[in-house]
Amino acid sequence: MNFQPRATEPLAVEVYQPDPDLLYSIEMAEKLTQIPRRRIALYYRHGLVAPVHDPALGGWFFNDEALHMLRRVDYLFHVCGMNPRAIRLLLHLMEEVEELRRELRFWRGF
């Protein structure tokens, strides 16, 4: 059998662009990140992640950025064995580095 594409079929790959306004419930966040809800709550209690909406006002909802942060925090906690205080310090330092990089790019642009 010969499985060559036909000349009329496009061969382009579509890049996935998530909807920036899309919100995920904590149940869906658990499924997407493979992080148990109890651990997500632990990260929230320690101030490492924050849902988009206040949990007291009707549930836990996360956007793509929050899911990315959940994965990062879980990696540091579960794989690297860091405690929540060390994770908070490391995340703060990473933010400082990114801010300094942005500032440096700005000043190099002149």
Which residues partner with 25 through β-bridges?
A: 61
Two structure tokens written together for 76: 């540091």
Q: Specify the pTM.
A: 0.74
Q: Which amino acid is at 31?
A: K
Mean pLDDT of 11-28: 80
**CB 73: neighbour CB atoms within 10 A?**
24
Q: Work out the angle at residue 54's Cα, subtended by the Cα atoms of residues 48 and 20, and round it to the nearest 5 degrees.
A: 80
Mean pLDDT of 30-36: 96
Mean pLDDT of 23-39: 94
Helix, strand or coil, per DSSP, at residue 61? strand
pLDDT of 2 above 80: no
pLDDT of 29 above 70: yes
The residue extents of the domains of the chain are 24-108
Q: Angle, to 10 degrees, between the axis of helix 37-45 and the axis of helix 26-33?
A: 110
Two structure tokens written together for 52: 């988009």
**Percent of the chain having pLDDT more than 90?**
66
Two structure tokens written together for 23: 């919100």
Instruction: Look up the CATH number of domain 24-108.
Output: 1.10.1660.10
pLDDT of 46 above 80: yes
